[in-house]
Structure 1
Amino acid sequence: MAKVLLFTLCVTLILPRVESCFIPRFLSVEVPQAIPREYEITRVDVSNCDGSSVRLTVTDPSFTVMSSGAIVASTAVYVGGSGRTFSVRARDDAGPGSEMEVHLVASTPAWRPSPKKSQDFLKRSKRRWGPAPFNILENDHAPFPKDIDTVASDSAAKQDVYYTISGPGVELNPVGVFSLDRDTGMLRVHKAVDREKFPTFTLRTRVFSKATHKETDLFFDIKVIVDDKNDNAPQFDSPLMFTVLEQSKPGTVVGKVNASDKDEPGSLHVKIKYSLKNGLDLFAINPVTGVITTVTNTLDREVKDKHLVTVEIRDMQGAVTGLFNTATATIAVGDINDNPPTFTKAAYTASVEENVQDKLLLRIPVEDKDLVDSPNWISKFVITKGNENGNFRMERDPKTNDGLLYVSKPLNHELNPKVKLEITAQNTPNGTLIGSYTALDPETKSGNGIKYYKVSDPALWINVDKNTGELKVANTIDRESHFVHDGIYNITVKAVDASAKTATGKVIIVVEDVNDNMPTVPISELRMCEKPGELGSVVVVAEDKDESPLSSPFTFSMPTDSDGQWSVVKLNDTAARLQHNKELPTGMHSVPVEITDLQGFGKTQMVPVRICQCRNGVCLDQERSTSLGSMGILAMLLPLALLLLLGLLLGLFCMTQREKLKVDDIGDSGGIILKSNTEGRGDEVDVSLLPLSSYNGDEVTKGSVKGVMSSGYPGLNGMSTVGGLNTTDNWMYKSGADLQYTSQIDAQYASNYEGQLVGSGVNFDNGHLLQGSSFLHNWEANGLYLREKLHYLGTEEDGCYAEDINHTYGFEGVGSAAGSVGCCSDFGDGDNLDFLNTLGPKFKTLADACQKT
């Protein structure tokens, strides 16, 4: 029995892949040698693709492919002799897509042959070569080098030649971009080029005979154009800061976004599309011009005073492949007078005594939601009822915007014990009717059919109704604006009838003043010359943009918390003198001064005052130049160099010092240098003039010494000369604090002068004075006096003998008001005692000193 085997075959069928979006694989197109911008090359057949989802891209940035399949040159393109090739890719949502290679073929030669020479020329001219400009793509990718095209001279047909090239891109900056094959004439590029730096190159080409090395043709300049690639995103040229008034009508211009692109001008690479990414419920932007406008009239500053909107700028006219940047635009909402002032209470009660005037009765607060301190916030108070006799007046507090009710005329209780006033608070809102300007037809005596147009309104403050000629407030009117002159603001209105006849007139608007400005000091710096021993001052001048009585006369005062270094004195209605109360250092001082106008409106101003050293009334710092130059810099560095040198010298001194010198302290010298090395002879003294006194030779040893003696320190010898002799005064301790004084004449000197003194009664014995000589008696008498003086100094306190010895005083730099009080300061008749009746300050000073002694 035969067995039957059953097999199960699994067959996998491999089917060819079918592309959902199919375009031809290759396309050759004949085009002009120089393709202009926006030139349509050809159209790609995309009928096999899904039209709703097809996406076409091109590899060459010099061309753009539209969704319809049209291939357009986005910039001027030159097609060389070898043509130009790029690819187009197509894809839809159904599959992977396909790619087509596009090859451009120039319809004319890459270079033109030389024209035939006329036989009528007497002189033969050289033959010419004329290749058209070559094109390369900026920032092209590797590998390099790449062939551009071949240059050829007509002379190459008859002889063997070679070529050379020179210029920017070869041996000049940027070096090494191009090369030329000397045998074939092939021009090559060796590196990427940035078009924004080098948009074109002009290369000089020469041809030479290989046999003679002489030029066979005139040189020719080849132009290489760098085709733009979209490699630069657009940039914002200015900050995005704008302001628009609240409640502006839709379509009101907010501002313009300015942007630029560094790519080739005029190409799609620089065609920017503007768009907003948020805030579309309030604002819109023109995609071509970048002008931002409002789309609603609901902007309210009191709700939100600032809006942040994201702006995008994208090149390639906003294509998804375009490069882009974004930035945040800040749109501030300006204030208009759209909120009236409101009272916080409906009624107030106040009382006043009769026969009282100029008294504040009541402060009435108001609220205004407009911008604080702006003209839209300032209130005007009017008594509309109850003030028929003019007994009251209303003013405004400039700081708080409150209404102030004053009694201006005395009241009589018997005539009217109770007064009821009605007060309104108002300001000038937008849309307020301030008048009308109408015209009449001289023939019909009627204004029917006449239209009114505003010709000039410098500050845009007034709106003119087209049909009625009514004038309404368009924005807050500011009297201090430069558009207002002497309180007058002018606009020009034109009236046009049905037959187009026109008439022009000027409208004069009188602007009333309100106290919306405070006094200020306009100068940036006041200068004060420093004068030793004197307190200087400067004049402070203030100004107020308001008119009287809302401005001057001003009040100048120092703040209550001032430090007392400065004071201010009013000079006139607008100026005051600012002076310092004590000496201050030179430099800048910021002085607080409170300045208010006649209505008390003002604040504390910081007045800058510079105290400086002057020459001829001009600050020295004004004469100095702020430009140092090289010598000035060297002068600044010189002290640093000297300091460094001093440090080196000190270091060297410390390193080379080997021993220390010890200086003995010889006591207090009174702060001066004492000269103690006198070696010359002393002054000659007539010994006969020395006073004689009895001396019994007793030894004085009593008393103790306090202080320092002028002849030397205790225990030291003091040298002196008398009559040409050297004598020695010896002070020596005997027991404890007791001190003994002896005096003798040096024997050597005595022997030298013995012959001279014999005639004077001085006796010597081997160079020593004899006891019985008169000279010795005189000398011993002096010694007795000194011993008695020493005893006196040793037994009394400091306060007693301090008047009899020399003292050292510190000099303070100021002389005595009495001058000198010496014995010889005044000379007069000694016999006449009348001067005792007219003794001056010198005597009193001397008398005081004597009384203390």
Structure 2
Amino acid sequence: MRVHLVHRAVSKRQAQSGVLKRFKRRWSPPPFNILENTPEVRARAIETIVSDAEAQFRLYYTIGGPGVDQPPVGVFSLNRTGTLFVHKQVDREEFPRFTLTVRAFDKITNEERDEPLDIRIDVDDVNDNAPTFTGPQQYTVLEQSVVGTVVGKVNATDKDQAGTLHVKIRYSLKTGLDLFAIDPGTGVITTATNTLDREVKDKHLVVVEIRDMDGAVSGLFNTATATIAVGDINDNPPTFPQTSYTASIAENEMEKLILRIPIDDKDLITTPNWISKFVITKGNENGNFRIDTDPKTNEGLLYVSKPLDFEQTSNVNLEIMARNEAELVGTTAQWMSVPVNVVVNNVDEGPQFSAPTIRLNVKENTANGTLIGTYTALDPETKSSAGIMYFKATDPASWINVDRNNGELRVANTIDRESDFVQNGIYNITVRAVDASAKTGTGTVIIVVEDVNDNLPTLPARDLVMCEKEGELGSMLVTAEDLDRAPFSSPFSFSLPSDHDGKWSITKYNDTSATLKQMKELPTGRHTVPVDIKDLQGAGKTQTATVRICSCRNNQCIVNPNSVSFGPMGLLALLLPLFLLLLLGLLLGFFCMTKTEKKEIDDIGDNGGILLKSNTESPGEEVDHSLIAGPYIVTDSVVKGSVKGVNSAWLASNGSGTLGAKTTNPIYNFDVVTSDLGQFSSGRYNQFEENYMGNSEGFDNRYLTQDSTYLHNWQTNGLYLNKKLTFLGGEDDGRYAEDVVLRHAYEGVGSAAGSVGCCSDFGDDDNLDFLNGLGPKFKALGELSRKK
């Protein structure tokens, strides 16, 4: 077939220069068709494409697009003259259409003489695809469903061209036609009977065919097996394998499994149609039994939940019904029941009290030994109390005695209703009964403690705060308490004693409180007010209310900033200095009473003074000259920049209390005078301090070895005494030894004490006559020693 293209429109184009050029005509061939799956042994011409420009030019043609130079490559080709060829068969389901672009060029100038043209090639369908099933072919329908119940829908598809007979599918069943039916056009499966029974057959397999071409014999088809499961309904009640059951139980046992009851159920296991529920329909009026379901075996489990008494009941007949969680449907059957005979076996029991608990009313403060009741027990077999003994099991406050032979309960100690052992007026004890075979029974005695008026109303032991108000008298509420209960407690009566001082008045406020009011101006501080308080029975006594009158802020006392109040720490702070002072006195006394260590001073000769070591204090006694030591040598050391002084402890032990005794230190070159006032120095102390203490380099360190404490004491006492000496009397004042300042070159010539220069004479060691002239004080000391 040769195709000629005609003009569809004529357009004029004008160049920018305004010169008219040749216009191109538009060429537009109709779509071409090819048949899919056509075997191509050699290239087959399809159409010839001609451009309208061929009337003026000699043209050649080119083609491109899918099927030519794009995938799938090589399906089509176009020769230079415009003939279109097909080279390969095409699958429409993969490539239903091709769109190619054809161009026309001048053979001489290669100039494109027409606009590019898109041509369409449609692939025509052939019925080369059979219909296929989509989705699983599995369905479920309940047993005993009515005819026409929808089971499910068969889904299928066909790849051929839509809207043609190639894809029009027809459904049919090849098997199971006696139970099911299928709609040929929609593929919906329905039931064809109402006799489906899961317990007979729970699954059906049917063959379904799908065929295109609307079921024509020439149509393509496929088949599949559909699985139709039959769902369960509770159309079978549980049944018992036996017609009756028997169980036994010992009396007094409880919470014990006594019987397992198996059942049969044809319904689907583990579903509510199969799971059993058991009910005791008869014989359990007293609630002695309960029945549960074993979740694994679906059996009934019969328990004794409350103990049985053989003496009262030796045999129990029960009736037990088995049900399902789901109700029965689709059947006329009913729930089934089975009888169960429970035999109670007798055992030797312990004694049993007449009642598990008894109540006894007892007044508090009942006299000891008072009988308040009897609590006895019986042997269940013999119905006798013979041989039974009674004991207390619990008695928290030890208030009750139990007679072991007859169970009499008597008061053992004072019963107090206000005790912590009593709760809401109730006090409990437990009693144990023991028979001859050592079996026991226990009972409880509830003692209701009745109140008596054994407590008086009292006021709380705390200060009552009354706030001062300018221009008016204060008042406050006074509240009393009574541990008793009505009618031995409130309402209370309040009054002041007949001999009250008239400073206060009191009026009743409510059953437990009264208003206490000032009648006169009273100073701030604490005041005690006697108040008579009585209970409803008139029992009471005078109570003392402590009232604290103060200035208040927000109903709280304000502490006066000008006043001083001491708490425990304040008192401790005041007592601490006194304690320290006392401790200082004790330390001073200790040092004064401690015996000073004796120190021997070597005699180096010709050093000026002689110290006499002697315990003999009476005149005229011979003194061993070996006891008289020579002048001492100071061996204290010097610390650079300071001087440690003479051993003041030694001076105190050897020179104190001796009138006129004097020691000359050749190294220090100053005098030490001892008297009842202690040691003191002459005016040369200052010179020593200047020369040596201020310049340690000029002092021989080997003479100072004493502790620095003695230096400090020497410096302090020396300075003090040096100043005091200026106020003491001299020799010219006729005062001996007590307050006499001795000049260095004057050693007592003409004084009553005489000179002590003899002591430096080593050649006269045995001459002790100087002891007779040591002054009045020494003579007095000698007289005292003589009396001993």
TM above 0.5, yes or no, is no
When Rg is computed on C-alpha atoms for both structures, the one with the higher figure is: 2
Highest relative contact order (Cα 8 Å, sep 6+), 1 or 2? 2
Return the TM-score normalized by structure 1. Answer: 0.36
